[in-house]
Amino acid sequence: MTELQILLHDMEGARVWVEALALLACLALAFGVTWFMRRGQPADSVWFGRHVFDGLLFPVLALVLIYAARHVVAQYQPLAVLKIALPVFISLAAIRLFVRVLGASFPRSTTVKLIERFVSWFAWAGAVLWITGLLPAVLQELEAIRLPFGKAHISLRTMLEGLVSSGVMLVVVLWISATIEKRILREAVGDLSMRKVAANAIRAGLLLIGLLMVLSSIGVDLTALSVLGGAVGVGLGFGLQKLAANYISGFVILLERSLRIGDVVRVDDFEGVVTDIKTRYTLIRSLGGRESVVPNELIITQRVENLSLADPKVLLTLKVSVAYDSDVDQVRQILCDAASRCARVLKDPAPAAYLSEFGADGLEFTIAVWIIDPENGQLSLRSEINTAILRGLRAAGIDIPYPQRVVHLKS
């Protein structure tokens, strides 16, 4: 009899209800423990999820309890229901692990949905093959199919196992690094830039260790990686020198803290707030909503104005023209009073007005004010100051001249 026939024969036994009750008891206990531990946990938790069933803890607890129940029930009768439940909950736990970790790490990625669907189909196909007893035969056929890889021949089973191991390793690394960043680095490291450096370094180190473990498990000789490392080094030295310079510059920026997330900077006539510092580039978002991707090498090699590095105060200047017959002292007083009434203008240093030029149409004054929040924008502040100046000049009867031209007519 085949494995499937034996399973169907055992399902017709008179004591199948014992396994069904044991399975229900395991699921109820796993549900109760998960529900009790879930209280107060965030909705994006990998262990608990948004509901009791969509987290990782429920299938893992159910799997442990079903495995224990199998050993107990197997001493008294043949297994049928619990024999099916074990691979089902192994597949469910694997799907929950991939779905929850990838969803938390890449919440807005559309590729994650495709990966989740592929993992689900792969896991349930493996469960069906396990239950029907066809899994050993399928693995044997995959082992017989060998593909040439240089001088060696690698079986399709080895490649498939390496792909599965790599996927599991990647998900576990993402989970561990995210947990370390959320639970340890967020409390131990207050600076956001240094936290970013530590998180990237931990993630890179864990990925390297996991990759070496996967390569070793599938039988790859790690001594051959020394030749690959030399080739990569030569490629970085010649063809990828710009890319390598950007990556190295990114770590230099994060370590020196010359540029931090939240700083207001001006790079190549583009002014904005630093929203993120990647290992290759830096994202700068202007006050108008535009976002610029600046290579890190550019920030290292050219002059960058950091308006938030030493002193957050920023000087703002405005120009006003009045008629030539105006009282200069009165105009200066009106300009200073109008600027002082704006809430964002600092009282120390106080606003100052200067007669800067004798223009073609009138006297030109320059108002100098200091602000401490340039990230909130300058256009609204300029409008507020200009409106107050206009009201003050009109109240004092001081004219703002129109352009004047003298035309001489020759007869």
The domain total for the chain is 3
**Within a domain: residue 48?**
yes
The whole-number mean pLDDT for each consecutive block of 10 residues of the chain, a chain of 411 residues, reads 62 73 90 82 73 80 90 82 86 86 75 82 88 84 79 78 81 79 65 68 77 68 61 62 78 79 83 84 84 88 77 84 92 93 89 90 92 81 92 90 80 74
d(CA 299, CA 91): 48
Q: Are residues 291 and 319 in the same domain?
A: no
3-state secondary structure of 365: strand
Same domain, 10 and 109: yes
Look at residues 276, 310, 344 and tell me which one is the last residue of a structural domain.
310
For residues 9 and 114, state if they share a domain: yes
> Could you give the 3-state DSSP secondary structure of residue 404?
coil
The answer to whether residue 179 sits within a structural domain is no
pLDDT of residue 111: 77
Integer Cα distance of 307 and 314 in angstroms: 7
Cα dihedral 48, 54, 60, 63, rounded to 10, equals 150
Cα separation values, 90 from 35, 58, 162, 169, Å: 20, 11, 19, 17
pTM of the predicted model as reported, rounded to 2 decimal places:
0.52
pLDDT at 5: 64
**388, part of any domain:** yes
Write down the pLDDT at residue 166.
80
Question: Domain check: are 239 and 355 in the same one?
Answer: no
Per-residue model confidence (pLDDT) at position 6? 66
Q: What pLDDT, on a 0 to 100 scale, did the predictor assign at position 228?
A: 61
- The CATH number that applies at residue 303 is 2.30.30.60
**Residue 335's pLDDT is what?**
93
- If one counts every other C-beta atom within 10 angstroms of the C-beta of residue 199, the result is 18
Report pLDDT for 310.
59
- Do 345 and 383 sit in the same domain of this protein? yes
Model pLDDT, residue 230: 65
Q: What is the pLDDT of residue 207?
A: 78
Q: What's the confidence (pLDDT) of residue 402?
A: 81
- The residue among 100, 133, 166 that closes a domain is 133
Give the residue carrying structure tokens 């180190």. 205
Domain extent at residue 363: 314-396
One domain for residues 320 and 365: yes
pLDDT at 368: 93
Three-state secondary structure of 240-292: CHHHHHHHHHHHHHHHHCCCCCCCEEEECCEEEEEEEECCCEEEEECCCCCEE
Pair 229, 270 in one domain: yes
What count of other Cβ atoms lies within 10 Å of the Cβ of residue 114? 10
Domain shared by 262 and 320, yes or no: no
Does 357 lie in the same domain as 291? no
Q: Determine the Cα–Cα distance for residues 133 and 28; give it in Å rounded to an integer.
A: 29
Return the pLDDT at 226.
63
368 and 272 together in one domain = no
Boundary-marking domain end, from 258, 283, 310: 310
pLDDT at site 333: 93
Tokens of 254: 């994060």
Residue 64 lies in a domain: yes
Q: What is the pLDDT of residue 188?
A: 62
Task: Look up the CATH number of the domain holding residue 341.
Answer: 3.30.70.100
174, part of any domain: no
